[in-house]
Structure 1
Amino acid sequence: MTNSRPARTYRTSLPVRILRAIGLLGALTITIWLVLAYRTMPQTIATHFGPGGAADDYGSKVTALVLAALMVALTLFLAVLSLRPSMLNYPTVITKTNAQAIYREGERMLVLALVSMQVVYLGLGRSVSDGAGSALLALGLVLLVACMVLGIVRLVRAARTDEGVAA
């Protein structure tokens, strides 16, 4: 229950704040690019891609705007949630001694996910606009999985350290 958890008292590091800003600016830039590219897109665009990156389903170009709206919403959600790490569901008990280390790792994990999502977004945007985004999409998904695994490992380590100070 988040109501009984200790309050966040640490200050977010500069690299994490910069990465959060990069993630937000990335989403804004990709969205502007998609909106500008929208008018030159054909009426029917690729909307799904098989494992090899080849298009295997098609739909209206409005799909590009739906994609943009969903990715902006997801980006904002991750950015806001990363500012409130005490709200997250953690794989361990939060105590006064480990709370700050765990919150810090939770925030880092979400910010890294936010940046990884922009690589996914760019890959999806390239895929629907010109069909050339499969490598970026794959890279973004690998980064997303890697930052989640790394984040969970770091959360577990933070929970095990004395006085909540990460090793």
Structure 2
Amino acid sequence: MTGPVTRVLRIASLLGIVALTAYVLVRYPALPDVVPTHFDFRGQPDDFGSRSSLLWLAGGGLALGLLTAWLSTKPDVLNYPGEITEANAQRIYREGERMMVWVLAGLTVVYLGICLQTFVGTGSAVLVAGLVVLMGSTLAGLIRLSIADSPG
């Protein structure tokens, strides 16, 4: 059974991804023909491209978010490091779901950071925070899966 925190985090992350995609699409017509497409470690643009590249960002962000959210509801299709048995299946599937939902939250924060950097010019800290959540959720998820795999 999905816990309330996991459920709320999944819904909030999905709403965030949809809202960010809508924001990119609404702002798209008013953008100049050339937009920044990459930023250095100081947050300064260091590469430029066609504004249509932002459509790829929006489509990719939405697709990745939807796929991750869907996978989080299907923990039985994920690949796990240990053997799934009748005794540990529910614990492992619950941890797999949690990990995927936290990965989704990290992706949402990364997407927000990219949008802030592109449209406002300040989003580096948010982007880094999202990457930390992504890495942390993966590491914590693998540790929790290992614990769930142990007897007891």
TM-score bracket relative to the smaller structure: over 0.9
Q: Which runs of 5+ in 1 are unaligned?
A: 1-10, 163-167
Following the alignment from structure 2 to structure 1, what is the Cα–Cα distance between the partners of residues 117 and 137?
23
The two structures have a TM-score, normalised by structure 2, of 0.95
The two structures have a TM-score, normalised by structure 1, of 0.87
Please name the residue that 2:15 is paired with: 25
Work out which of the two has the higher radius of gyration on C-alpha atoms and give 1 or 2: 1
Following the alignment from structure 1 to structure 2, what is the Cα–Cα distance between the partners of residues 161 and 150?
19
Paired positions, count: 152
Over 3 Å off, 4+ runs: none
Following the alignment from structure 1 to structure 2, what is the Cα–Cα distance between the partners of residues 49 and 137?
11
Please name the residue that 1:6 is paired with: none
Cα deviation code 1:4-28 (max 9, x no counterpart):
xxxxxxx111211111101110011
Q: Is the counterpart of residue 97 in structure 1 residue 87 in structure 2?
A: yes
Following the alignment from structure 1 to structure 2, what is the Cα–Cα distance between the partners of residues 48 and 60?
12
- Secondary structure of the 2:30 match is coil
The structure 1 residue matched to 2:121, chosen from 126, 131, 147, is 131
Please name the residue that 2:134 is paired with: 144
Please name the residue that 2:149 is paired with: 159
- Over the aligned positions, Cα root-mean-square deviation in angstroms equals 1.1
Q: How far 1:130 sits from its partner (Å)?
A: 2.8
Q: Is the counterpart of residue 114 in structure 1 residue 104 in structure 2?
A: yes
The structure 1 residue matched to 2:76, chosen from 86, 99, 103, is 86
Query: Partner amino acid for 1:111?
Result: V
